[in-house]
Chain A
Amino acid sequence: MYKIGEKIATREAYGAALAEFGRDERIIVLDADLSKSTKTDCFKKAYPERFINAGIAEGNMLSVAAGMSTCGNIVFASSFAMFASGRAFEQIRNSVGYPCLNVKIGATHAGISVGEDGATHQCLEDIGIMRTIPNMTIINPADATEARLAVKAAIEHQGPVYLRFGRLAVPTVFDENYKFEIGKGVELESGTDLTIIATGLMVPYALEARTVLAELGISARVINMPTIKPIDKKIIIKAAKETGAIVTAEEHNIIGGLGSAVAEVLSENAPVPMARVGTQDVFGRSGTPQKLFEIYGLDTKTIVEKAKEVLAKK
C-alpha cells in the first residue's frame, strides 16, 4: 500500500482507510466541521449517505455517536485530538466508555506537530486522559501503513477505540508485510544494553537513535508501541529483564502517556532505570513542526542523551 520512506500523514491514511473499509454498511462517519482536515471527506466522497456533519459541536457529536452505536452501527467520530478528547471528554467517559459502546474516536492533529496553530491546538494530553477511561483502547500509529491497519482493527474490535493521528507528513516505516495487532508491541530492532520504546512519529527517531548509539558501541533494542492501552506488559517486562534500562519516546506530555504507562508496568513488575522523552509538562507554541521538535526535545539527539543517562544508572 504505502512505500517505505514515502512521507504521508497518518490522517491521510485514516481518511483513505475509512473509504477503503467503508463498504461495511454499518459504518457511519461523523465529523465536526473539519472533514477536509481530518480527511473524513475521503469517506464522504465515497459514501455520502453515511457521512454526517455534526457541526462545531464536539460534545453533542460524541453522545450522538454513542446513540447511533446502540442501533448496531460502527460509528467513527472525528475532530482534532484537542476537541475530540478535550471538549468531549465527559461525553466519551459517560456516554461511550461506561456503556462500552462501539464508537471509534478518530482524533487527528494530535501532538506538537500541528505546528503553527500553536498551543491551543497541540494536544499533548489526550493519551493521558483517554487512558483513565475504563474500556477504552488507545492506538497511536507510527505511519500510514500502521494507521490503515489500526482503522481496520478498530472496525473489527467491539468497543470504544481512540485512534490518534497526526497532521504532519511522516516517513512510512512499515511495508505491506507489517502485522498489526491491538495490544501488541513490536520489536523492530534487537539490542542488549537498553530498550527504546517509541510510539507514533517518534518511531523513526528511535530507529535513528539506535544507529547513533551503535556507533558509540551501545546496543539498543527498539520497540514500537502503537497500542497505549491495553499496554503490552509482556514485551516491556521482557525488555527490562533482558536489557536492564528503558527510554520511552512519545509526542505527548511525559505525564500520562506512553512513558507513564511503561513506568507503571516497570515499577510493579521489573523496576529498572528509565527515562521519558516527550514534552516536559509544558504547553507548546507556534512554529514549524521541525523547529518545535528541536525546542521540545522530540528528536534523535534527546533520545540518545536519555539513553546515556539511563545507562549510567544501570
Chain B
Amino acid sequence: MNNNYTELKRSAANIRKMVLEATCNAKSGHPGGSLSSADILAYLFMSEMNIDPKNPQNPDRDRFVLSKGHASPALYGALAERGFIPKEDIKTFRNAESYLQGHPDMKGVSGVDMSTGSLGQGISAACGMALAGKLNKKDYRVYSIIGDGECEEGQVWEAAMFAAHYKLDNLTVFLDFNNLQIDGNIRDVMNPTPFDKKFEAFNWNVLTIDGHDFEEIEAAVEKAKETKGMPTIIIANTIKGKGVSFMENQCSWHGSAPSVEQCEIGTRELDEYINSLGGAL
C-alpha cells in the first residue's frame, strides 16, 4: 500500500460512524469493543482479505471469525464498507425485522463466516477452518479477532494448543488488547496477562503492535504470512472506545448505547477526523 493509509483511515472512521449509528438506533449493543477493533477490521476487509461481495461463498476465499462476537457493529460496518451489505441497513441493527442480529449470524448475513457471541468458541471455529484448508489443500487464510477478557475462557487456550499442534500457519489471530472487560480492568477481574509469554509457551509466532496503526498492522500480517509451521497471534494494543473521545477507556461503554445526542457528537468528531485526512480519493 503506497499511500499514507488515508483510504484505510477513512474506512475505519466510516466503520466507527456505523458503530455509533447501529448502537444508537438499537438503543443497545457494544460500542466500546467495536471501536477498538475497527482499524483491524478495516485493514482486513478493505485491504487484506481475498473476498468478493459478489461471490461471498467462494470456497477459496479467506475466512474471518469475530470470536468476540459482541463487536458485531464493527463487523457489519466493515461488511457495509466493503459492499457486502447496504449501508442503509446498519440502522436496523438488533431490530426484530432486521437480519443484523445482536451477534453475528452466518446464515443471515453475507460475508459472515461463523456465528459467534458466546466467548471462546470463535477461535476454535477459526482453527477448524484453517485445518480444513490444510486437509482440503486450499490456499486461503483464516483471520480471527479475540478479546483480552475473552482469553479468560479456557477454550481459548485449548484452541491455542490445537492450532500450534496442527501447525496452522494459515491462521492469524488478532488479540484486541484494550485492557477492559465488563466488570473492570482485566488485571483486576481475572488477570489473563502476560499474553506474549503465554502464546509463546503455546508455540505460537507472537507479534505485538499498536492496533490503531495501519503500518504496524500491515507489517504484522505480512510477517504472519511468511511464518511457516506455526500460527500467529498479533497482540494489538488498542483503546476501548477508540475514536470517540468520551468513550475511550471507559468500561461503561462496553455494553451501553449512545443517546441520539451522544451519537451526533461522536459522529461529528469522526467527520472532523475524516476531513482532516484531506484530499479526495
Chain A contact residues, CB within 8 Å of chain B: 31, 33-37, 53-57, 59-60, 82-83, 86-87, 115-121, 285-288, 291-292, 295
Q: Which of B163-209 contact A (CB under 8 A)?
A: 181-183, 189-190, 192
Asked if residues A59 and B182 are in contact (CB atoms below 8 Å), the reply is no
CB pair A119–B105 under 8 Å, yes or no, is yes
Question: Among the listed A54, A57, A120, which residue makes an inter-chain contact with B118, where contact means beta carbons less than 8 Å apart?
Answer: A120
The one of A83, A86, A286 that contacts B101, using a Cβ cutoff of 8 Å? A286
Contact assessment for B117 and A120 in the assembled complex, using a CB-CB cutoff below 8 Å: yes
Nearest-neighbour CB distance to chain B for A158, whole angstroms, equals: 30
Which of B118, B150, B154 is within 8 Å of A60, CB to CB? B154
Judging by beta carbons under 8 Å apart, are A286 and B96 in contact? yes
Most chain B beta-carbon contacts within 10 A, residue among A60, A82, A87, A118? A118
Cα separation A116 to B23 with both chains bound (whole Å): 11
The total of chain B residues at the interface (CB under 8 A) is: 34
Q: A33-B183, A57-B154, A60-B154 are in contact. Are A292 and B96 (CB under 8 A)?
A: yes
List the A residue with the shortest CB-CB distance to B98: A286
B129-184 interface with A by 8 A CB criterion:
149-150, 152-154, 181-183
Q: Give Cα A37–Cα B254 distance, bound, in whole angstroms.
A: 12
Whether B9 is near chain A, meaning CB under 8 Å from some CB there, is no
Q: Are A56 and B118 in contact (CB under 8 A)?
A: no
Q: Tell whether, in the assembled complex, residue A121 and residue B96 are in contact, meaning their CB atoms are under 8 Å apart.
A: no
Interface string of B82-95 (1 = CB under 8 A from A): 00000000000111
**A119 CA to B100 CA in the complex, in Å?**
12
Interface of B is mostly: loop
Provide the bound-state CA to CA distance between A102 and B105, in Å: 38
Query: Which 5 residue pairs across A and B have the least CB separation, nearest first?
Result: A55-B190, A287-B96, A120-B117, A118-B102, A55-B152
Q: State A59–B153 Cα separation when bound (angstroms).
A: 8
CB neighbours (8 Å) of B190 from chain A are 33, 53-57
Partner of A117, one of B98, B102, B183, B192: B102
Selected contact of A33 from candidates B69, B102, B152, CB within 8 Å: B152
Cα–Cα, bound, A228→B100 (Å):
35
| Distance in angstroms between the alpha carbons of A83 and B97 in the assembled complex | 26
- A201 to B235, alpha carbons, bound, how many Å? 44
Q: Pick the contact of A56 from B94, B101, B116, B153 — CB < 8 Å?
A: B153
Closest residue of B by beta carbon distance from A114: B102
Residues of chain A within 8 A of B150, CB atoms compared: 56
Binding site for A on B (CB under 8 A): 26-29, 69, 93-98, 100-103, 105, 115-120, 149-150, 152-154, 181-183, 189-190, 192, 255
| Selected contact of B181 from candidates A56, A292, A295, CB within 8 Å | A56
* Nearest residue, chain A, Cβ from B151: A56
With A and B bound together, what is the CA distance between A287 and B96 in angstroms? 4
Which B-chain residue is minimally distant from A41 (CB atoms)? B183
Contact across chains for B28 and A116 when beta carbons are under 8 A apart: yes
Given A33-B182, A33-B189, A291-B96, check contact A120 B26 (CB 8 Å): no
Do A116 and B29 have beta carbons less than 8 Å apart? yes
Question: In the assembled complex, which residues on chain A have CB atoms less than 8 Å from the CB atom of B29?
Answer: 116
Q: What is the CB-to-nearest-CB distance from B152 to chain A, in angstroms, rounded to a whole number? A: 4
Contact A286-B183, Cβ < 8 Å, known A56-B190, A87-B118: no
A295 engages B96 (CB within 8 Å) = yes
A and B contact pairs by CB, cutoff 8 A, 25 listed: A33-B190, A34-B182, A35-B183, A36-B182, A37-B182, A54-B190, A55-B152, A55-B181, A56-B120, A56-B152, A56-B153, A57-B190, A82-B118, A116-B27, A117-B28, A117-B103, A118-B117, A119-B103, A121-B102, A121-B117, A285-B96, A287-B95, A287-B96, A287-B97, A291-B96
Closest CB in chain B relative to A119 CB, distance in Å: 7
How far is A131 from B36 in the complex, measured between Cα atoms in Å?
41
Complex Cα–Cα for A305 and B56 (A) = 43
B255 partner residues in chain A, CB cutoff 8 A:
37
Selected from A35, A83, A120, the residue in CB contact (under 8 A) with B116 is A120
- B69, closest chain A residue (CB): A120
In the complex, what residues of B have CB within 8 A of residue A120's CB?
A: 69, 102-103, 115-118
List chain B residues, Cβ under 8 A from A118: 94, 101-103, 105, 117
Which chain B residues lie closer than 8 Å to A287 at the CB level? 94-97
Q: How far is the CA of A285 from the CA of B100 in the complex (A)?
A: 10
Verify B103–A116 contact, CB threshold 8 A.
no
Pairwise interchain contact A55-B189, C-beta atoms closer than 8 A: yes
Given the known interface contacts A56-B119, A291-B96, the answer about A116 and B102 at a Cβ–Cβ threshold of 8 Å is yes
* Chain B residues within an 8 Å CB radius of A31: 183
CB B267 to nearest CB in A, in angstroms, measures: 21
Residue of A nearest to B150 (CB): A56
Is B101 in contact with A119, judged by CB distance below 8 angstroms?
yes
Q: Tell me the minimal C-beta distance from B150 to chain A in angstroms.
A: 6
Does B103 lie within 8 Å of A121, measured CB to CB? yes
Say which residue of B95, B102, B189 sits within 8 Å of A53 (CB atoms).
B189
Q: Which of A53, A82, A87, A119 contacts B183 (CB 8 A)?
A: A53
A116 adjacent to B94 (CB under 8 Å): yes
Chain A residues, CB < 8 A from B97: 287
Please determine whether B118 and A83 come into contact, CB atoms closer than 8 angstroms.
yes
